[in-house]
Every structure is written in C-alpha cells, then in structure tokens.
Amino acid sequence: MPGAVSPKVFGLGKSPIDEQDIRDLKSWLEAIRDGVCGPLCLDTLSLLIRNALDWLQEENPHFRTYLVARRTITDIQDVVVADLARVKFFAVAPDRSNYYGNLALFGPAVKAFPSAQDDIKEALLCLATEANTAAVFHLMRVAEFGLRVLARDRRASVPKGPLELATWEEVVKALEESEKKIHGYPKTLVREQQYDFYHGALMEIRRFKNVWRNDIMHARDSYDRNDAIRVFNHVCAFMNILGSRISEESEPLPEVWGDKQLREDTTL
C-alpha cells in the first residue's frame, strides 16, 4: 500500500485527528488514487477515496476522529484487495523491460516526426508485452510517416489525388522519379551526398515495403520476438537518419542541394 499512515490512527479512538496526520492520510489516499485507481480504472475504489478526501475537509473536528480514520483505512484496504482480484496483470521479460514506455529509446526522430509518436509508443508497448506481430505493424506505420515526409521534401506528386491519400507504391514511384533527377545533376561532391541520402532512403523504403509492410498489411506472415526487435532497430535507424536532414515541421530542402547542405555524415 503506498504512502505511510501514523500508527495513532489505529489506537486513539474518538480523539480528533491532528493536522499532521490529516496531511499524511490525505497523501496516502491521493497516492492510491493516482497510482492504483487511475491506471487500473477501479471506479468503486475511486469513489471511496473521493468520499474520504471530502471527509478530511470537514470543518468540525468531531467528525474527523481517529476512529473514523481507522474504519476508512480498513474499508479502502478491503476494496483494494477485492478490486485487484478482478485485474489481470502481465510480466515483462527482463530483456524487454527497457522497451516499456521508453519513448527516448527511439532517439531524436521522436521529435522530428511528432505524428509518429503514438505508433512508436504502441510499438514499444507491443515489444514489451511480446505482441511481436503487432509491434511490426506499428513500426510499418512509423516508417510510413517517414516515407510521406520524404515525398513532401522532394516535392513529389502522384497522378491522382493528394499525396496524403496515395498508396506506398504510388509514393515510391514518385520518389524514384525524383531520384532519377538527382542522378542527372552535374557531378559534384554535394550532388553525391544528395544522391546518397535520397537513394539510401529509397532503398530502405523498398525493403520495408517488400519484406515487411506488404506481408503484414495483408495478413501473410507473423513475427517472433527476434523479428520484431530487428524491425524496430531497422526502422529506428532509418527514421533517425531521415530526421538528421528533414522533419515534419521543417521546410523542404532545396531541390538541388547547395554548399549549405554539404557535410561529412552522408549515407544511410
């Protein structure tokens, strides 16, 4: 049970509770409310704690006695035991515990692609709980955010409809056209870096599409724990390399890179 309650609560009968014990009891109740009731959706316990906190606000000290406090604590303990008996818990394997809720594990790409954060969180939760095929599903959604930001950066267009509604195949074809244009630019060091970046990104997207994305979206395959970690590492590396150059909120890079884009870390 979280928090600490003075032993006096159980021995002073009808004596009014002193202010320090009121503060301690209030902290104890709030700790249970925030740490147990909220996460586990225990409505009965939440109501009991809310009533107890209201009781602690009573102005008449004759209503705030150690006897009532003892009964309140005993009632809450009984409800905690009864409610927790209805809750199912799961264990996270030691080698998966670092994934549970650890958004920072994905790296700087979390900030570069904020729209992907929900799927990154879901992928991490699935990895922690061994829902491995579901983890790969969410990771392919994460990769799609990267794909579409890359297409926006290259000012890609598709034959029909907006880019946001285009299929992976349509976006990939549009990016292939952009890649051909880069290859035709005059040979310079900057051109080589630009080609390395976009060509490498497109190669990764093709791999995602052909190896994982198509199969999982059409229920053709399932994945074990090692597969899921491998996909996570792959998508994480891909998104972070993209994020080192482009992001959802940044303006597209120049269609033809200049000296400002020249730097040493070049390849995917």
pLDDT in tens, 60-114: 666 778 888 888 888 888 888 888 888 888 889 999 999 999 999 999 999 999 9
Is residue 174 in some structural domain? yes
Dist CA 73 CA 149 (whole Å)? 55
Q: Assign 146 to helix, strand or coil.
A: helix
Same domain, 11 and 117: no
Given 16, 51, 84, which residue is the final one in a domain?
Answer: 84
Q: Taking residues 119-131, report their average pLDDT.
A: 96
pLDDT over 90, % of the chain: 53
Residue type, 206: R
Dist CA 225 CA 78 (whole Å)? 39
Given 84, 117, 137, which residue is the final one in a domain?
Answer: 84
pTM over 0.85: no
- Residue 139's DSSP bridge partners are none
Same domain, 148 and 207: yes
Q: What is the mean pLDDT of the chain?
A: 88
Is residue 266 in some structural domain? no
Q: Assign 16 to helix, strand or coil.
A: strand
CB atoms within 10 A of CB 29: 24
Q: Taking residues 208-218, report their average pLDDT.
A: 87
Same domain, 125 and 17: no
Same domain, 78 and 100: no
Dist CA 16 CA 68 (whole Å)? 10
Same domain, 77 and 136: no
Same domain, 23 and 134: no
At residue 1, the pLDDT reads 44
- 238 and 268 in contact (C-beta within 8 Å)? yes
66 burial via Cβ count (<10 Å: 0-12, 13-18, 19+): buried
Phi, psi dihedrals of residue 39, rounded to the nearest 5°? -60, -30
At residue 77, the pLDDT reads 87
pLDDT tens profile 187-212: 999 999 999 999 999 999 999 999 99
Cα-only R_g, the chain: 28
The total of structural domains in the chain comes to: 2
Return the closest-CA partner of residue 156 out of 133, 137, 135, 179: 179
Lookup result for tokens 């009984």: 78
Given 51, 84, 117, which residue is the final one in a domain?
Answer: 84
Same domain, 71 and 175: no
Instruction: Give the CA-trace dihedral at 113, 117, 119, 121, to 10 degrees.
Output: 140
CB atoms within 10 A of CB 156: 20
Same domain, 211 and 105: yes
Q: Measured between alpha carbons, how far is residue 184 from residues 155, 157, 170, 261, 268 in Å? A: 17, 19, 22, 18, 21
Is residue 70 in some structural domain? yes
At residue 56, the pLDDT reads 85
Is residue 218 in some structural domain? yes
- Count of positions (residues) in the chain: 268
**pLDDT range class, residue 10, cuts 50, 70, 90:** low
Is residue 267 in some structural domain? no
Phi, psi dihedrals of residue 65, rounded to the nearest 5°? -110, 165
Is the pLDDT at 161 greater than 90? The verdict is no
Is residue 89 in some structural domain? no
Is the pLDDT at 11 greater than 80? The verdict is no
Q: Domain residues for 37?
A: 7-84
98: which 2 tokens? 């670092």
Same domain, 78 and 151: no
Dist CA 196 CA 218 (whole Å)? 32
Lookup result for tokens 């709030």: 30
107: which 2 tokens? 């790296």
